[in-house]
Amino acid sequence: MTRPEARARIEEIGVIPALRVHSSADALFAAEAVARSGIPIVEVTMTIPGALEVIRTLVQKTPGVLVGAGTVLDLAGARRCLDAGAMFLTSPGLDLGIVDFGASQNVAVLPGALTPTEVIAAAKAGADFIKIFPCGHMGGPAYIRTLKSPFPELRLIASGGVNQANAAEYILAGAAAVGIGSDLIHRDAIKRREDGWIVELSRRYVQMIGQAREQLRAT
């Protein structure tokens, strides 16, 4: 999948499920459940044991799913992720080397940023989206709304503290998408292998994002 195609997929769906689990088996189970729910996107964080092999397996076995790498902390790690087949790169902070590398490889990059200075730097570097992390600790939707005032054209992703109670509010505040971890892929659902739990939550989030966007279009 090309960089523009990945960017379009993220904008269309509006939800990036982040896998933060304890084993590769857990990651594959969760990813397959999310994909069945109607969210053809998954972020495999590098904190998962065997994360690169998880990416490789998902790319091979789920060709319709946009598989990305999360918690990418340096350029060497970014290279390994792309070698495994990752279609986008995201990180908790801003590393301009990773942004430049992704652009050179025609891969979408979603660097983390928090302050206006970091947002400007990420935008100037050519980031496809800018992940505001940890958004929940900075005022939640109100912080996204504050950032959108000086940066109305930038595509911001709210990450960190997004849940069922506030996901729609982030979209209404101006976020292009939301990144969700344990509030979508609950640890108990993983432990009990209750894939229906993950499927149901995924569908709820898609519905909430869709309704919020409809509300914006109506105003």
The 10 Å Cβ neighbour count of residue 218 is 6
Cα torsion through 196, 50, 48, 156, rounded to 10: -90
Distance of alpha carbon 216 from alpha carbon 219, whole angstroms: 5
Domain-embedded: residue 195: yes
Instruction: Kindly tell me if the per-residue pLDDT of 130 is higher than 90.
Output: yes
pTM of the model: 0.95
Domain-embedded: residue 91: yes
Domain-embedded: residue 121: yes
Instruction: Kindly tell me if the per-residue pLDDT of 132 is higher than 90.
Output: yes
Predicted pLDDT at 87: 97
Domain-embedded: residue 98: yes
Distance of alpha carbon 9 from alpha carbon 59, whole angstroms: 16
Q: What value does the mean pLDDT take over residues 111-116?
A: 97
Instruction: Assign 101 a pLDDT band (cuts: 50, 70, 90).
Output: very high
End-to-end CA distance of the chain: 34
Residue-wise pLDDT for 16-38, tens only, equals 999 999 999 999 999 999 999 98
* Amino acid letter, 73: L
Give the DSSP letter of residue 133. Answer: T
Instruction: Kindly tell me if the per-residue pLDDT of 165 is higher than 90.
Output: yes
What is the count of structural domains for the chain? 1
Domain-embedded: residue 205: yes
Residue-wise pLDDT for 45-83, tens only, equals 999 999 999 999 999 999 899 999 999 999 999 999 999
**Residue 191 is part of which domain span?**
3-214
CATH number of the domain at 129, please: 3.20.20.70
Domain-embedded: residue 17: yes
Distance of alpha carbon 159 from alpha carbon 147, whole angstroms: 14
Domain-embedded: residue 219: no
